[in-house]
Amino acid sequence: MRILIKNIRGLAGVYDDAPSLLRGKEMDKLPMIENAFLAIEDGKIALFGSMDDWGGITDWRNLEVIDAEGRYVLPAWCDSHTHLVFAGSRELEFEDRIKGLTYEQIAKRGGGILNSAAKLASMSEAELFEKALPRLSEAIEMGTGAMEMKSGYGLSTKNELKMLRVIKDLQKETGIAIKSSFLGAHAIAADYAGKRRAYIDLILEEMIPAVAEEKLADYVDAFCEEGYFSVAETMEIVARGAEYGMKSKIHVNQFNALGAIPELVKAGAVSVDHLEVLEEADIQALNGANTIATALPLCSLFLSIPYTLSRKLIDNNAALAIATDYNPGSAPSSNMALAVSLACIKMNMTPAEAINAATLNGAAAMELADTHGSITNGKVANVLITEKCEHLSFLPYSFGKSAIAGVINHGKVIKAIEE
Ligand SMILES: N=CN[C@@H](CCC(=O)O)C(=O)O
Ligand SMILES: [Zn+2]
C-alpha cells in the first residue's frame, strides 16, 4: 500500500536525521516544510519535501493520493505513560472527590489503586483483553501511534503477569509499538497490609524475576510517594530491575517531593513522571539530563492538583515529554490532543514545545525515537492531518474539539479526511 499526501500547507516535525531527544531551547523548534508532500510506502515514510521540488511518482499503481490543501501534517502522538489495561471505571470515586474527599482519602478507604486491583483479580486474561482493546483502538483513532502501558493493578505475581500478558497481546493484535512497564510497586497489596517489607521482598525476589523470565516488561516502575513507596524502596526496585535488564520509568513527585529525582537521574532512569511538585534540586538534576521529565496534564486537570512547572523545567534545559496517564482513577482519557492543549493553556508551553513533547520526546521516553516521533525517511508512517487551518497553533488552540481530521497508522488510513 502506497500513499501520497500532496499540497500540505505545512509538514511539521521534519528531519533528515532526527535527534534522539529535544532539550531546553531546542524544544521550541519544530522544523516545517511549507507546501509539502509526503510519500508513504510499506508502512514507512518513504520521501518528503517541498511541492516545488516534487520529482514526481512515475508508478501510480496502488497509490492512494490524499490532497491536504490547507492542512498541516505532523507525526502521530507518542503516549509514553498509560495504565490502559484495567478492569473497570471508578466514577463513584469521582463523585466522592466532587463531594470533597481527596485522592489520598479515597485510597485510605480502600478505593483508588486497591479498588482497581480488587476488580482485576476476579477478571480473566481474555476478559481483560476484551476490555482493553477498544480503549486502545479509540486512542489510535485519536492519533496515538505508539504507547507505553503499565501493570500495577495486579499486586500479586499472578495478576501482575496477567496484566503484562494482556499488554503483549494488545501489541500482537494491533501491531502498534507498545512498551510495557512492570508496576508491582503501585501500592501495597491489600493482603500485605501491615507487612510492607514482605510485599517489597515479593516484588524483588519473585515478581521481577518472573516478569524477566517471560520477557514481559521493558521497564520497572514504582509509585514513589508518601503512603506508597519510599525513595529507598524505589531505588531497591530500580536496582533489581537493572539486574534483570530493565531500565526504569518512575512515578514521582505527584503529591510530595521526597528527593528521589536526583537519585533516579543518577541511576539512569529513562523518565521521571508526574512532577506536579518540584523542588530546586529536582529541577537542577534534570538540567541537561538524559532522563526525560514527563508531565501528565490530564491528571492535573482531573484531580485538580498543580500542573508540572514545565516552563521552569524547559528554561532549565530539561527534556520534557507529555503523556496522558490514561487510567481509571486520576485520568480516564487517552486524548493526547487535549493534553497538548493543556500544556499550552496551563503550563505555558508554546505549541511547538507541546507538540515536540507529545511526539519526539514522547518517543524518546519509550526509547522509540529511532522509529517514531518525527517525519523522517524510514520511520514508521504514523501521521496526523489537521483540519484546514491557517496556523499549526490552531491544533492546541482548538481544545476539547480535536482539530485532527485524519489519522494514518503504519501507513494505513485509520481516519480519512473529507476532501
Ligand atoms: N499515581 C499513581 N498511579 C496512577 C493513578 C492510579 C489510579 O488511581 O488508579 C497515576 O499515575 O495517576
Ligand atoms: Zn501513572
CA 343 vs CA 273, 278, 383, 387, 389: distances in Å: 15, 17, 21, 20, 20
Ligand nearest to the CA of 86: 1
How many separate helices (H) and strands (E) can be counted in the chain?
Answer: 16, 16
* Ligand 1 atom, smallest distance to 328 CA: 9
Q: Kind and range of the H or E element at 112?
A: helix 112-121
**Dihedral of the CA atoms 262, 267, 269, 275 (nearest 10)?**
-20
pLDDT (tens digit, 9 = 90+) per residue, 289-314? 999 999 999 999 999 999 999 999 99
Nearest-CA residue for ligand 1 atom 11 is 325
Q: Which residues are known binding-site members for N-formimidoyl-L-glutamate?
A: 153, 327, 329
Residue 327, ligand 1, Cβ within 6 A: yes
Residue 308, ligand 1, Cβ within 6 A: no
Q: Which residues are known binding-site members?
A: 81, 83, 90, 153, 186, 251, 254, 325, 327, 329-330
CA distance 136 to 133: 5
- For Cα atoms 298, 83, 269, give the angle at the middle one, nearest 5 degrees: 90
Nearest-CA residue for ligand 1 atom 12 is 330
C-alpha cell at 341: 492543549
Residue 324, ligand 1, Cβ within 6 A: no
pLDDT (tens digit, 9 = 90+) per residue, 356-392? 999 999 999 999 999 999 999 999 999 999 999 999 9
Domains present along the chain, CATH in parentheses = 2-75+374-415 (2.30.40.10), 78-364 (3.20.20.140)
Q: Quote the ipTM score.
A: 0.97
CA 4 vs CA 67, 219, 249, 364: distances in Å: 8, 37, 37, 27
**Residue 59 reports pLDDT greater than 80:** no
Residue 185, ligand 1, Cβ within 6 A: no
* Ligand 1 atom, smallest distance to 274 CA: 11
The band of 53, judged by pLDDT with boundaries at 50, 70 and 90, is: confident
Q: Give which of 11, 9, 5 is closest to 375, Cα–Cα.
A: 11
Residue 254, ligand 1, Cβ within 6 A: yes
If you average pLDDT over residues 175-189, what whole number do you get? 98
Residue 294, ligand 1, Cβ within 6 A: no
In 351-388, which positions are buried (b, 16+ CB within 10 angstroms) versus exposed (e)? bbbbbbbbbbbbbbbbbbbebbbbbbeebbbbbbbbbe
